[in-house]
Amino acid sequence: MYEDPPVQSMTEDPDVQKMMEKQRIHRAVLKRISIERHNQDKQWGGDDHDDTHNHHDWIAYIVKHLGRAVSPWNIHRFKDNMIKVAALAVASIEWIERNDTRNKEGNKL
């Protein structure tokens, strides 16, 4: 007599569990980056301040925090500074996007 194999619920499937955990971590990381980005805007003045910088400035800020991430080595310092690096990368891309819009309107960087 043939019996159907037991049906695993979606949440019991190890691949689904792995995917769900990866998504949970991804959302948590993006939330931390977003919070850091908000804190940077509060600290430095947002778009008006960011728009005073150029691409060399953005690279310098990112490199500065990369250096802080590894010296002296500490996993928590590394994580915190990598969040800052990611938020600075977002800020630089926002700067590019704003300036792309201005350039289309006839303004230059």
Evaluate the omega torsion of the peptide bond into residue 14 and state whether it is cis, within 30 degrees of 0: no
For residue range 2-51, what is the model confidence (pLDDT) as tens digits?
Answer: 776 665 666 688 999 999 999 999 999 999 999 999 999 999 999 999 99
* pLDDT (0 to 100) of residue 7: 59
- Largest Cα–Cα distance of the chain, in whole Å? 78
CA–CA distance, 109 with 104 (Å, rounded to integer): 11
Query: pTM for the complete prediction?
Result: 0.79
Q: Give domain limits for the chain.
A: 14-104
| Residues 6+ positions from 69 with CB-CB distance below 8 Å | 77, 78, 81, 82, 85
For residue range 53-109, what is the model confidence (pLDDT) as tens digits?
Answer: 999 999 999 999 999 998 888 999 999 999 999 999 999 999 999 998 776 765 555
> Residue 23 gets which letter from DSSP?
H
